[in-house]
A = this chain, B = another copy of it.
Amino acid sequence: MDLIQHSDSPRYIRLHERDTVGVVINAQGVAAGSRFADDLEAIEAIPQSHKVALRDIAAGEAVIRYGQVIGYALRDISRGAWVTEQQLRMPDAPALDKVPGAATAGAGLEPLEGYTFQGYRNDDGSVGTRNLLGVSTTVQCVAGVLEHCVKLARETLLPKYPNVDDIVPLIHSYGCGVAINAPDAVVPIRTLYNLSRNPNLGGQALVIGLGCEKLQPGQLFPDNDAMTANQSEAEWLYRLQSSENGFSGMVEHIMGLLERRLEKLNQRRRETCPASDLVVGMQCGGSDAFSGITANPALGVAADLLVRAGATVMFSENTEVRDGIHLLTPRAASAEIADALVHEMAWYDQYLARGMADRSANTTPGNKKGGLNNIVEKAMGSIAKSGSSPIAGVVPPGERVRVKGLNYCATPASDFICGTLQLAAGMNLHIFTTGRGTPYGLAMAPVIKVATRSELAERWADLIDVDAGRILSGGVTLEELGWEIFRLYLSVASGEKTWAEKHRIHNDLVLFNPAPVT
């Protein structure tokens, strides 16, 4: 590792005029005795992305960042000191029966017209950004055989059908050995139902089942479903237990089913679609204190542009919005939507309490190393992704998004569960911000990865698609970066490959199953 001597002068960023702390920007942090431009002196060494006290803070006094209370001082903190987790008492989460109601200014933002991308139009009106052959499964039992077939088909069939981007088996650990009638089982079941309908899968029904499992293929494609209406069951469903010739019979049959779909999908061509056909899911993972300063606010600007262009954009991660819920309910487009937001928070509070955990379980050691002291501070940075648009809808976990505009898709913060639930919601494009760095990818949608810091973007040049650290180095404004991301949405949606796609790396689908296994 080259140790580059940074000669830049000590700098911090203050996000809101009420803030009593600033965030140190310098890549190497600042040494004790360093003086910032406003003459503030760091009285101890402070690492990059950690907080410096902008004035003396007395024990018991609120510590303010983003104009919000992120904690109360446990002891006196001197001006210029490093503000750490140990010095703060975390505030209680906002009481859900006291959050302000919907108060959105009626008008909304000025429409943005004329932006388009090249997408794959589906029969149901949705648009794919990729042309994928998806293979739904009812149960983990089929995974070994199906993965064998997909590997074989990638090698022997896919080259013959160049307009098809990939074959994606929807492998999961649900489907049997689970309490399928427990009240919360509705979540994983509707997730699988909606994943099969993701716009990037081209509306082709294909299910591989075992035969004796609890989750039955009819729960994914019920009688008279539009996707299977003109097909016999044998055209969209194969149960391994029907094989008359063991493994080789299974392989032969599945390869035939795959090839018939590849033939169909290969006929498809991209066509010009308005930006309003985009369904963008936003997420953060491996966050640091810059997430809420650079990458997430840039996504917020781009989200406002998407909303103005008539598109759908989702933010998520229950435990990361819980502490900012009082800032979100006033943005709900109606009283019903404010209620729905509160309902999802209350359900999640209860879910965590049942397992004897709470929202503080969210914050990771890496977050803390990155300068995020607690979930309150993390939440303020996380919800910056939502921009300033009214919240037009709330999507319960596993459900499909129903209205255009900004939606809250209620998911756990786990990167893979959140990504999976956003795919079920109908996402055709994913964007992911990271401060600490992760090679995250999804098989069913392109993932644009945004670094919060230039240092990460440079070090991981073959993984990071967007360097949001340029906001700090002064190269671009937040507004400019928002527009850059908006344009990137359109070009990636049109087929430009993200880094994760170029390497063909992706993570697993992970279902959210709040119900027991058996």
Q: Are the C-beta atoms of B437 and A355 separated by less than 8 Å?
A: no
Complex CA–CA separation, A164 to B245 (angstroms): 31
What residues of chain B lie closer than 8 Å to A184, measured between beta carbons?
355-356
Q: Are the C-beta atoms of B507 and A246 separated by less than 8 Å?
A: no
Q: Are the C-beta atoms of A364 and B213 separated by less than 8 Å?
A: yes
A122 within 8 A of B: no
What residues of chain B lie closer than 8 Å to A354, measured between beta carbons?
354, 516
What residues of chain B lie closer than 8 Å to A503, measured between beta carbons?
144, 148, 247
A346 within 8 A of B: no
Chain A interfacial residues counted at CB < 8 A: 87
A360 → chain B closest CB, angstroms: 9
Complex CA–CA separation, A356 to B464 (angstroms): 44
Q: Are the C-beta atoms of B357 and A515 separated by less than 8 Å?
A: yes
The closest CB in chain B to the CB of A375 belongs to: B518
A413 within 8 A of B: yes
A31 → chain B closest CB, angstroms: 24
Q: Which of A1-38 contact B (CB under 8 A)?
A: 1
A486 → chain B closest CB, angstroms: 25
Q: Are the C-beta atoms of A141 and B247 separated by less than 8 Å?
A: no
What residues of chain B lie closer than 8 Å to A141, measured between beta carbons?
285-286, 415, 438-440, 507
Given contacts A177-B413, A213-B366, contact A357 B506 (CB under 8 A): no
Given contacts A141-B415, A355-B179, A518-B361, contact A247 B499 (CB under 8 A): yes
A460 within 8 A of B: yes
Contact among B140, B182, B352, B416 for A510, CB-based, below 8 A: B140
Q: Which of A104-148 contact B (CB under 8 A)?
A: 140-145, 147-148
Q: Which of A435-456 contact B (CB under 8 A)?
A: 436-441
Which segment, of A56-64, A84-92, A236-244, A402-410, faces chain B? A236-244
A319 within 8 A of B: yes
Contact among B173, B213, B359 for A508, CB-based, below 8 A: B173
Complex CA–CA separation, A316 to B506 (angstroms): 34
Complex CA–CA separation, A120 to B428 (angstroms): 49
A476 within 8 A of B: no
**Copies per complex?**
2
Given contacts A176-B414, A286-B141, A437-B240, contact A214 B365 (CB under 8 A): yes
Q: Which of A482-518 contact B (CB under 8 A)?
A: 499-500, 503-508, 510, 512, 514-518
Contact among B178, B181, B244, B416 for A173, CB-based, below 8 A: B416
A462 within 8 A of B: yes
Q: Are the C-beta atoms of A182 and B364 separated by less than 8 Å?
A: no
What residues of chain B lie closer than 8 Å to A71, measured between beta carbons?
none
Which of A140, A213, A439 counts the most B-chain CB atoms under 10 A from its CB?
Answer: A439
A458 → chain B closest CB, angstroms: 9
Given contacts A210-B438, A508-B143, contact A517 B181 (CB under 8 A): no
Given contacts A216-B365, A460-B243, A518-B412, contact A144 B248 (CB under 8 A): no
Q: Are the C-beta atoms of A250 and B439 separated by less than 8 Å?
A: yes
What residues of chain B lie closer than 8 Å to A285, measured between beta carbons?
141
Q: Are the C-beta atoms of B463 and A247 separated by less than 8 Å?
A: yes
A212 within 8 A of B: yes
A54 within 8 A of B: no
Q: Are the C-beta atoms of A246 and B463 separated by less than 8 Å?
A: yes
A79 within 8 A of B: no
A98 within 8 A of B: no
Contact among B147, B356, B412, B507 for A517, CB-based, below 8 A: B412
Given contacts A212-B364, A245-B459, A366-B212, contact A517 B436 (CB under 8 A): no
Contact among B216, B508, B516 for A355, CB-based, below 8 A: B516
Q: Are the C-beta atoms of B240 and A364 separated by less than 8 Å?
A: no
A137 → chain B closest CB, angstroms: 11
Which of A179, A213, A243, A367 counts the most B-chain CB atoms under 10 A from its CB?
Answer: A179
A201 within 8 A of B: no
Q: Are the C-beta atoms of A241 and B436 separated by less than 8 Å?
A: yes
Complex CA–CA separation, A502 to B177 (angstroms): 27
Q: Which of A245-273 contact B (CB under 8 A)?
A: 245-248, 250
A474 within 8 A of B: no
Please list 29 pairs of residues, one from A and one from B, whose beta carbons are closer than 8 Å in the complex, sorted by A's number.
A141-B285, A141-B286, A144-B441, A145-B505, A148-B503, A173-B173, A177-B415, A177-B417, A178-B361, A179-B361, A181-B357, A182-B355, A182-B356, A182-B357, A183-B356, A212-B364, A212-B370, A212-B436, A240-B437, A243-B459, A243-B460, A245-B459, A246-B460, A247-B460, A247-B505, A357-B515, A362-B518, A413-B518, A414-B518
Q: A171-B508, A212-B364, A413-B518 are in contact. List 11 more A-B contacts (CB 8 A).
A: A1-B244, A143-B507, A144-B506, A173-B173, A173-B508, A177-B412, A211-B366, A216-B365, A245-B459, A355-B516, A357-B516
Please list the 5 inter-chain residue pairs (A to B) with the smallest Cβ-Cβ separation, ordered nearest first.
Answer: A212-B366, A177-B414, A144-B505, A179-B357, A355-B516
